Every structure is written in structure tokens, then in C-alpha cells.
A and B are shown apart, each in its own frame.
Chain A
Amino acid sequence: MSYLRVVGLVAAKDLRTELRSREQAVSLLVFALLILVVFHFAFDVTVPDFTAFGPGMLWVAFTFSGVLALNHAFRIEREQDRIDGILSAPIDRSAFYLGKVLSTVIFMAAVEVVLVPLAAILFNRAFDGRLALTAAALLLNLVGFAAVGTLFAAVTTATRRSEMLLPLLLFPAAVPIALAAVRTTGHLLAGRPFERFAHWVWLSVAYDLIFLAVAVLLFDFAIDE
């Protein structure tokens, strides 16, 4: 079976499961929305300064719901004892990894599509092209988040302290793209020219590529049970 086909199949299986029950997407969305609401009360952002607060708030919302998504991605495999099947199957385990990353990114994108407009409404931000670009920039950084997160989640979901361990490992490792996400979306929302934040975009791209490659190399060692 070709490599890319395996990747596609793994992601498709997750998506099909999700379409049937819709539990994952709904929980992710609701959780992310709740975080925005908490920010709304915590920082009184109705006085429109979405440009200043928006980037950070959105990233926090995606970070925490992202951790949920990552945990879920492997918990279902372990619950249904599928890990052994994956280990014995004659497929490249890194293909399985990429499939998982793909399905996580798709879930997060789905959440984004709903959440970014909702955030704009909640914080009185106009709907314009800049907002759409903000969503795209967030997605670019979420790829990096999912890349490193999937590798770590494969490991931490096998422990009893997974709720603590995944954030502990992931958040420091994700500092570059967290900063990139916040800066890029901040500049975008403020309407500044691309040259001002181009280096952040290149950083995100580099981070995504580097850590996808590293994780592909290391994933074999993550689920060698």
C-alpha cells in the first residue's frame, strides 16, 4: 500500500468516525468558545481592542482545545486496543503518524472556521479579508502544533498523568509557533504590510517542516510497545 494512501486512510477513518458521532468536533468547539467567554469576562474586551487581545486569546483557545484533540486522537486507539494492530500491520508507522496529524489539523480547521467568526462577533470585530488571513495564519501554526503534539501525545497517552504531561511537553516546545501565531495575527488584524511580519511566517513554515520531519523519524520509537 502506498505511503500517501496510508496517510489518507488513517485520516479518513478518524474523520468518518467523527462524522458519525460528531462528539469530538462539538466538544472542541464548545471548549474553545468557553475559553473565549472566560477571556471576555476576565479582561473586559468589549471595548473593541480585538486587535490587541484577539491574537493571544485565539491562540490560547486553540492551544487548550488542541490538547483535547490530541489526547482524543490516541485515546480512541488505545481504548479500542488498536495500537497492537498498527504495530503489526505492514505499514510505515510514520504514515500512521502523518495521518493522525492530518486528521487533527482538519479537526482544528473545522473548529477555527466556526470560532474565528464567533470571536469576531463576540468582540465586535468587522468581517473582512484580514480576518480570513488571520484564520489562515492560525492554521499554519496549528500544523506545527499538531506535528509536535501528535508525537508527544502518542507517548503521553500511554501514561496515567497524560493530562499534565502533554501540556508540559508540548507548550514549551511550541513556544516559537505560539509567538509566531500571536505576532502574525496581531500584525494582520492591525492591517500592517506583509514585510512587517514576513519573518514570522517563514519561521512558522520552517518550524512545521522541521518538526514534521523530525517526528516522522522519531515516531517509530514512540509507540514501540
Chain B
Amino acid sequence: MMPGMLERLLLLAATLLIPVAIRMAFVLAPTEGKMGEVQRIFYFHVPSAEMAFLGVGLSALFSVVYLYGRRRLVDVMAEAAAELGCLFCTIVLVTGPIWARPIWGVWWTGEVRLTSTLVLWLILVGYLLLRQSAADREQAARWGAIAAIVGALDMPIIYKSVEWWRGLHPKVLKISGGGGLDPVMGQALLVSSLAFLLLFAVLFMARVRLGLLEEEAESLARAVDRRAATAGGAPAGGVS
């Protein structure tokens, strides 16, 4: 079955690439001049942020497609993308302070990217809680779509406004004396980003499968109710 094949290929690719990325991040990439080893957090902090923004962007895109065609699969994909976006956003917000503390002595530096990511996290959590509060699947899909579209459109504006409000992101990409990103560091970051992207893809497909299973359970429950109604019996138990 084609979807299963793709999923397995992605899982394989991820399994192969993740160790390579780890090796590059921890061994092959040079130690950063000013921050030392702890700078290596960068190799999973930055890709996580990329995936968080990918998540909200995809969710908004799928939401638009959903509102146009009202296909359940598309809504499942929108929810999956948002959920994963939230997951990676959490990783960013956890690793950010852990990185900041030994370097700058504070947990929260209030700098632009981290602040924007916090707002993104709130937007995604809001999306998920809003869907949960809806009366049925269709309402959750519609409402979620609105939240995702507004949220994704807002993100660039939020980022700009926070940037104007604060100073700029500290330069972490230099080694002492260097004029830019060390090439091996750049490669390590690229490989890490790719590994995270594959991870995202694998988790996404698993989550979509789960969502479709949920849909199947719901339609089956409705079918049972209908049979019971015509047979004059009691309805099936609710599907949460």
C-alpha cells in the first residue's frame, strides 16, 4: 500500500540521517570560540524552530484548502501539522533557556526570536484548545482553520514588531576571528535541519494515520447508533 511504503522510507531515511547529524553536531563541528561546547545546542534548537514555523505554516495552508474543499483528510493534516509545530516549539522554548543560562547568566533573555517563538507557542496551544472545545468534528475543523490562518498570517507581523521593540538576535554564528559561519558548522546545521525535517515527516504521517483512525471510529460509532436506532436498541458509547 503506497502510503505505508512512503512512511517506511521516511522512517528509514530518518534513522540513517539522525546519527549522522548527531555525529556532525557533537564531533565534527568545531567548538565555538566564545561559548564553548554548549553552543552545540544550536544544532537542535534552530532546526526545532524551523519545524515549529513549518508546522504553523502547513497548518494554515491545509486550513485554507480545507475551507475550500471540506475534505476530512485535509483537516486531519492541518491538525497534525499544528500539533507537531507545538511539539517542536516546546523544544525550542526548553532548549533556549538552557542555552542562555550558562552563556548570558539569565534564563530568559527577552530577545527577538525566543519571544516570537513564545507567542507562536501560545498561538498553537490556543489552536489545539479551541479545537478541543468545539462541539463536533466539523466545528473543530472550521474553527481551527480560522485560528491557524490568522495565526500564520500574524507570525511575520509579530516577528517584525518584536524586532522593532527589542534589539536583534545575538550573533552565535561566528567563531572567534571568523567573518561568518564556519563551513563545517554550516554543514552540520544543514544536516541537522534535514534530519529534523525527516523526523517531522515521519511524525506527521503517524499523526495523520491516527487522525484518520479517529475519523473511522467516529463514523463507525455513528453507524452503530443508526443500526441501534432502527432496531430500537440503545446507542453506542460516545467516542471522545
Q: Which A residues are within 8 Å of any B CB, using their own CB?
A: 148, 151-152, 155-156, 158-161, 164-165, 168-169, 171-173, 175-176, 179-180, 183, 199-200, 203, 206-207, 210-211, 214, 218, 221-222, 224-225
Q: Interface residues of B toward A: which range? A: 20 to 34
| A168, B122: Cα distance in complex, Å | 7
Structural contact, B162 and A168, CB atoms closer than 8 A: no
Known: A207-B157, A222-B142. 7 other contacts (CB 8 A): A148-B150, A161-B133, A164-B129, A175-B119, A175-B161, A183-B165, A214-B150
| Residue in chain B with minimal CB distance to A206 | B157
Q: B146 interface residue, CB < 8 Å from A?
A: yes
Q: Are A203 and B123 in contact (CB under 8 A)?
A: no
A159 to chain B, nearest CB (A): 4
Verify B146–A155 contact, CB threshold 8 A: yes
**Dominant SS at the A interface?**
helix
The reply to whether A172 and B157 form a contact with Cβ atoms under 8 Å apart is no
Cα-based distance from A165 to B153 in the complex (angstroms):
20
Q: Contact at B122–A179, with CB atoms within 8 Å?
A: no
- B119 close to A172 (CB less than 8 A): yes
A210 to B155, CA, bound (A): 13
A175 touches B158 (CB 8 A): yes
Contact, CB under 8 Å: B149 / A214: yes
Binding site for A on B (CB under 8 A): 67, 119-120, 122-123, 125-126, 129-130, 133-135, 139, 142-143, 145-147, 149-151, 153-154, 157-158, 160-162, 164-165
A161's nearest neighbour on chain B, judged by CB, is: B133
Taken together as a complex, chains A and B put the C-alpha atoms of A161 and B130 apart, in Å, by 9
A148–B157 Cα gap in the complex (Å)? 14
CB-based contact A159/B133 at 8 Å: yes
| A221 lies within 8 A of B154 (CB) | no
CA distance A43 to B183 in the complex (A): 51
Contacts of B120 in A (CB 8 A): 172
- Using CB atoms, name the residue of chain B closest to A180: B161
List of A residues within 8 angstroms of B151 by Cβ = 172-173
**B126, A179: Cβ atoms closer than 8 Å:** no
Could you list 8 examples of A-B contacts with CB < 8 Å?
A169-B126, A169-B130, A172-B123, A175-B161, A176-B158, A203-B161, A211-B150, A222-B142
Report B87 CB to chain A, min CB distance, Å: 18
Pairs A-B, 5 closest by C-beta atoms: A176-B161, A172-B122, A159-B133, A169-B126, A168-B126
A175 to B123, CA, bound (A): 11
Q: Is the CB–CB distance between A221 and B67 below 8 Å?
A: yes
A199: B residues at CB distance < 8 A: 164
